[in-house]
Amino acid sequence: MPPLGRTDLDVFPLCLGGNVFGWTADEDQSRAVLDAYADAGGDFVDTANSYLIEHGRSETIIGAWMADRARRHRTVVATKVGGGRGDVRNLRAETIAGEARASLERLRTDHIDLYYAHFDDLETPLEETLAAFDALVRDGIVRHLGASNYSPERLGAALELQRREGWAEFRVLQPHYNLVERDFERTMLPVAEEWDLAVLPYYALASGFLTGKYRAGGAEVQSPRAAGARAYLDKGGEKVLAALDEVASAHGTTVAAVSLAWLCTRPQVVAPIASARTTGQLAEILPAATLALTADEVSLLSASTEPD
């Protein structure tokens, strides 16, 4: 198991996203996916207080599963605060404290392994937000902190403030990053490298496009994300799919696994986050945990999303 950056956590190199639990996967489907992931050696689950249709539904499903399977001590749990709608979409001190405790109840646990600021909150002073996160760590409610959806400037400022004040620091970054969405490399990667942040990319499969199931002239895919995924076909997606097909064929594996394995070769990346609403979808991504790409294959894939 690779170490999660400067934390004391060791994690499975593929993080299971819980955003579909209670949304496109009902509780029985979610439990089946969680069982299959654990059976394959998986131990790292990502969720949020705001997932998805019902506030905290994903956390509730994961918490019940861990309790029923006695898996809490064998599962690294990441969740978030600051997303969603209404009064909880902020990083005020009272929101952080209240939502952390609500997440503990839903997850049926006494601590959160990795707690993220889900979205930056420009209306709340950084001092208030970061002091509140520090208090959770000092109280033993949270082990480690992470950040998501910050600008490079704001993340840098937050890290500097945490260091200066001696507060618990963000040690993990969860950015939007995949083979066809690579802005991270020029925006956030320099910050991640400077502060030695472990990177856990979300939308690692580009809303499903990098599974290979969206192709010109192909069968219509019924999914809430289908329109967004198909849009990549108009942005050079066929070239990307051709490269993925070539590498997948050479390894006798899936296009999805190759897409995730490419991310695992990127600087600072520890474990891409990918979700599955069925065990069949999970089977397509699990090989990424052990798939080793050659340098030539990595170059081929990287070049497929660079301008001609």
User: Does 241 fall in a domain?
Assistant: yes
**6 in a structural domain:** no
CATH of the domain at 97: 3.20.20.100
Q: Is 150 annotated in the active site?
A: no
Q: Which domain holds residue 86?
A: 15-303
For residues 178 and 60, what is the distance between their CA atoms, to the nearest angstrom?
29
Give domain status of residue 232, yes or no.
Answer: yes
Q: What pLDDT does residue 229 have?
A: 72
Q: CB within 8 A of 162, min separation 6: which ones?
A: 130, 134, 168, 169, 170
Residue 308: inside a domain: no
Do the beta carbons of residue 84 and residue 91 sit within 8 Å? no
Is 2 among the domain residues?
no
| 223 domain-assigned | yes
Question: In whole angstroms, what is the distance from residue 117 CA to residue 41 CA?
Answer: 28
| Nearest one of 169, 174, 90, 165 to 133, comparing CA atoms | 169
Edge-to-edge order in the sheet of strand 76-81: 198-199, 170-174, 142-148, 112-117, 76-81, 44-46, 15-17, 273-274
- pLDDT tens, position by position, 27-66: 999 999 999 999 999 999 999 999 976 789 999 999 999 9
User: What pLDDT was estimated at residue 308?
Assistant: 53
pLDDT tens, N- to C-terminus, the chain (308 residues) = 889 999 999 999 999 999 999 999 999 999 999 999 999 999 999 999 999 767 899 999 999 999 999 999 999 999 999 998 888 999 999 999 999 999 999 999 999 999 999 999 999 999 999 999 999 999 999 999 999 999 999 999 999 999 999 999 999 999 999 999 999 999 999 999 999 999 999 999 998 999 998 876 655 665 666 666 777 887 778 999 999 999 999 999 999 999 999 999 999 999 999 999 999 999 999 999 999 999 999 999 999 997 65
Q: Which of 200, 92, 183, 206 is nearest to 147 (CA)?
A: 200
3-state secondary structure of 26: coil
Structure tokens at 145: 């902190």
Taking alpha carbons only, the member of 172, 65, 54 closest to residue 109 is 65
Q: The pTM is what? A: 0.95
pLDDT of residue 221: 60
Q: Is 124 left (phi over 0), alpha (psi -120 to 50) or beta?
A: beta
For 185-228, the pLDDT digits (tens) are: 999 999 999 999 999 999 999 989 999 988 766 556 656 666 66
Q: Is residue 158 part of a domain?
A: yes
Q: How far apart, in whole angstroms, are the C-alpha atoms of residue 66 and residue 35? A: 10
Q: Which of 51, 177, 202, 214 is catalytic?
A: 51
pLDDT of residue 228: 65
Tell me the H-state helices in the chain.
Answer: 27-39, 57-69, 93-107, 126-138, 152-165, 184-187, 189-194, 226-230, 237-251, 255-264, 279-285, 295-303
**Which of these, 49, 78, 74, lies nearest to 144 by C-alpha position?**
78
Count the domains in the chain. Answer: 1
CA nearest to 77, candidates 21, 122, 125: 21
List Cβ<8 Å contacts ≥24 apart for 278-284: 278/25, 278/29, 278/32, 278/33, 279/32, 279/33, 279/36, 281/33, 281/211, 282/16, 282/33, 282/36, 282/37, 283/36, 284/211, 284/254, 284/256, 284/257
pLDDT at residue 234, rounded to an integer: 74
